[in-house]
Structures are given as C-alpha cells and as structure tokens.
Amino acid sequence: MKIVSAAIAAGLALSASSFAQDSAGDTLTVIHAGHLIAVPGERVRENASILVRGNRIESIEDGFVTPDGAEIIDLSDDWVMPGFIDSHVHLLSQQGPLRRFEGFILNPADMAFNGAANAHTTLLAGFTTAQDVGGNFEAITALRDAIEDGDVPGPRLRVSGPSVTPTGGHGDINGFAFDVMHMFSSETACNGPSDCRRAVRELVRGGADVIKITATGGVLSDTAAGVERQFFNDELDAIVEAAHLMGRRVTAHAHGVTGINAFLEAGGDSIEHGTYLDRDSIRLFRENGAYLVPTVMAGEFVADQAETADWMTDNQRAKSREVGPQMLEMARRAHENGVPIAFGTDSGVSAHGDNAREFELYVNAGMTPMEALTTATVNASRHIQMDDQIGTLEAGKLADIVAVDGDPTENISELTDVDFVMKDGVVYLSE
C-alpha cells in the first residue's frame, strides 16, 4: 500500500482559493497592525500600517492609513510579525510505523505529493520559509520548484537533498538484509576524501542549496553505532572545501561532541542538534560564527516515543532514551554561553504543523519570548543566507507576515495558534 496522504486533495483544493487572491499583481494592500514586531529584538511599534504591493513591502507608516483604492486588512487588535523560518524540516515524510520502509514502496512522485500536503500544513502554522535537510533529491527539488512557481502552497524552500554520509553511517540505509542494503545504499554515501568531494559535487550539480552531512551517528538509524563521529578528518576537510569552492554552506547532523568539534574545526558552517556540545564546542561556535540549530522538539518527541511507540527498533529505542532527554539542557547551555542559535525543529520526526512547539521549549531553556522569536526570524534568515529578503518587516523585503491575537512577548504559546499568514503578499490564513 502506498502511503500518499489523503489530506493532499483537501489541501490543494483549499490552496486554489488562496492563489486566486494573487491575481491582482500590483494591487496595494494595507495591513493595519495594532502591535508591530517589525524587527524581533527591537521595540514593539504600536498602531502602524504595512503597505504591500505585489509580493513586497512598499513601506511601513505610523498610524492606520487608508490610501484610495487599497485593500485593507484589519489586524488592529493583533500582534504582527515576520513570517517564521524553520531551518530544519523533512517535508517528504512523517515518523511512524512505516517510515523505515518508505524508500522501498514510494517513488519520488509519491514523496513529493506527501511533501505538498506537509508543506501546506507548515505554511498554515506560520512558517513561510523552511530549509529541508535530508530527503529524496528528485522529490524535494520538485517540491521546492513547484512552490516557487506558485503551483503548490507552502513555505519557500532551501533544500539539501540526501545527506553526505559515510557508508553505513546515519544517512545510509541500516538494519536490513545485506543484499537489500547494498541495493539501496545512498548515492551520497562516500568513503575517503576524493569520494566525498564527488558526493558534494553531485549534489551541487543537482541543484542543492546547502550541503548536509551526517558527522555523527543518529538516533533513528537502526544501528548500534552510537552517536559520536563517523567521518575522518580528511573527509570532513574535503567536504567543506568542495562545498565552499562551489558556493555552498555545509551543515552537519551531529549529536556527539567528537563529531561536533571535528566538523567545526574543519570550517563547517552550522550544527544540527548539537546534543553533547562542550566548552570547546562553544568556543568554536563563537569563533567561527557558526549557527546551532537545536531541534529540541525532536529530542522531546523521541524520548516520549521510546516509552510508548511499538514502531521503534531496539537500537532506536535505546538511543532515544539516551539522547532525547539531553537536548533541552544543551539548548540552555548554548544560549547562556552566547552560541548563535537558529530555529529548527526536525519536523517530520515530530508532526508537521506543530513546529511552534520549539518556541516554547526555547523559553523553557531560558530564552525570553522575544529571544525565541528572534531565532526564527532574524537569526534564521542569516543562517540560511536570506536576510536581505526575509526575517524582518522592512521596505523592500518580501511580504511574509504572520499575526496572533495575544502578546507573544508575554506568552510565547500564542505562536502555536497563528491567526493570519501572508507569504509573498498572498493571504493563506485569516481567522
């Protein structure tokens, strides 16, 4: 049985009415914002108007202005802010009993359709941009391009395609019969510096926006290989150099401290997870300006599932119990020590659409609500190299705007229930 979501038809039907709103082209839309967080981390601006023409912000003015012929959107009782950015998602899939077998029973078209449904759900949760780091290359690039072309509603995407991984590593196939693993081994599995350069170059040739590697073992791979480093130094050096030469940043899945530090010492640009970072890690993050994407939700999810889910293998369950509970404290230590943090959830492990739970966990880890919001706007836009286009509400930037009916600077949980979503000047949600 193919696992293509039944929600797709309903999601795409709903999207048709949203796309119809974009037919006006250069029509002026004015949003009356009662409480405007234009630049998270700076003061909240009261009673302002955001003038949107086409897909960009034309200006922001004091007071509620009503130019002749403009369409007015009344958010005068709401808190208005930039669209959120999730730096770590897996839109093509959802963790569950059949997740390990999808590579055998789904083709790239099936995966792309599943991704379309998950992308729509993510957009309606207020996430107008996302970085998808790890997934079928054909499916995720097709989804990215379909969203960009306006054929499918979803967050604009930056994608890595499959992870560069050592053979048998976290990004390769594990836990099946030897012949099956040989047949389905990742095309971006590599061994030795030369082979790892090849893997990077093939991803760049295929259209990857960013290179992701699995610098350490992982929690949900079905192997008892632990969560420490899995690449040799010369392989890490080759991957980072090859990617940088071709204009791509490199981010690393890394739990264990040996992999975190080796990757940062090789010049890597960011770490996904970072569970066992130490004082040297913190120094390297700060010296290099590298970002940490904590994915605390994923830790919470696997720790919970380890006690209740019957789909976990013994290897997965053991690592989930060990690693998951460590991630909240990791985020606390990173924040307290000035590590640059970009918001990321690993959604696809946890449920799509629940992304904003990560905000609550950051506050639990010691951030103020405004600091948590900044990770998903200002910081994340810099991390994914789009801060000239998104991350703040300013003249000339893309009109990605969300709103909630309560003050998120007092109660971060307001962000788990957004009431208004505009992306590229098109309204997708208005309650």
Domains of the chain and CATH, by start: 7-83+390-430 (2.30.40.10), 84-383 (3.20.20.140)
Q: How confident is the model at residue 86 (pLDDT cuts 50, 70, 90)?
A: very high
What average pLDDT score do residues 164-169 get?
A: 85
pLDDT, mean of residues 46-64: 98
Which SS3 state, helix, strand or coil, does residue 393 take?
coil
Q: What mean pLDDT is reported for the chain?
A: 90
Q: Cα separation of 25 and 46, whole Å?
A: 29
Question: Is the pLDDT confidence value at 162 over 80?
Answer: yes
Residue 195: pLDDT band by 50, 70, 90 thresholds? very high
Distance (Å, whole) CA 260 – CA 50: 42
Per-position DSSP letters for 125-179, written without gaps between them: TTEEEEEE-SS-HHHHHHHHHHHHTTSS-S-EEEE--SPBEETTSTTS--SS-HH
Position 214 scores a pLDDT of: 95
Q: pLDDT digits over 401-424, tens only?
A: 999 999 999 999 999 999 999 999
Predicted confidence (pLDDT) at residue 322 exceeds the cutoff of 90 = no
> Would you put residue 374 in left (φ > 0), alpha (ψ -120 to 50) or beta?
alpha
In angstroms, how far is CA 431 from the centroid of its own chain? 25
Tens digits of residue pLDDT in 135-161:
899 999 999 999 999 999 999 999 999
pLDDT value at position 103? 72
106 pLDDT band (50/70/90 cuts)?
confident
Which SS3 state, helix, strand or coil, does residue 329 take?
Answer: helix
Q: Is 63 left (phi over 0), alpha (psi -120 to 50) or beta?
A: left
Look at residue 21 in the predicted model and tell me its pLDDT: 45
Across the range 34-40, mean pLDDT stands at 98
Please tell me the predicted confidence (pLDDT) of residue 301.
Answer: 86
Quote the percentage of the chain above a pLDDT of 70: 88
**Exposed / middle / buried, residue 62 (Cβ in 10 Å: 0-12, 13-18, 19+):** exposed
Average pLDDT (66-72) is 95
